[in-house]
Amino acid sequence: MRKRSGLIVAAILLLAIAPFFAAPRGGLHDPTELELRIFLFFDGTDRVEFREGFVCRHFAQTLKMNAASAGIRMSVVYVDFALEDVFFGHVVNGVRLANGTLVLVEPQSDKIFPCDALEAHLNQWVGIGRIELRNVTVVW
Supply the pTM of this predicted model: 0.80
CATH classification at residue 72:
3.30.460
Q: Counting Cβ atoms within 10 Å, is residue 10 exposed (0-12), middle (13-18) or buried (19+)?
A: exposed
What pLDDT is recorded for position 62? 97
pLDDT of residue 25: 58
In this structure, are residues 96 and 77 in contact, taking their beta carbons and an 8 Å threshold?
no
pLDDT tens per residue across span 20-74: 555 555 699 999 999 999 999 999 999 999 988 899 999 999 999 999 999 999 9
User: Could you tell me which residues are beta bridge partners of residue 103?
Assistant: 95, 114
Which domain, by its residues, includes 56?
2-139
Long-range contacts of 22-27 (CB under 8 A, 24+ apart): 22/71, 23/69, 23/70, 23/71, 24/71, 27/71
pLDDT tens track for 126-137: 787 788 999 999
Q: In what order do the strands lie in the sheet with 86-96?
A: 111-114, 102-106, 86-96, 75-83, 132-139
What pLDDT is stored for residue 3 in this prediction? 52
pLDDT for 126 equals 79
What confidence tens digit (pLDDT) does each residue in 70-127 have?
A: 999 999 999 999 988 889 999 999 999 999 999 999 999 999 999 999 999 999 987 8
CA-based R_g, the chain, Å: 17
* Total domain count, the chain: 1
- Evaluate if residue 138 carries a pLDDT over 50: yes
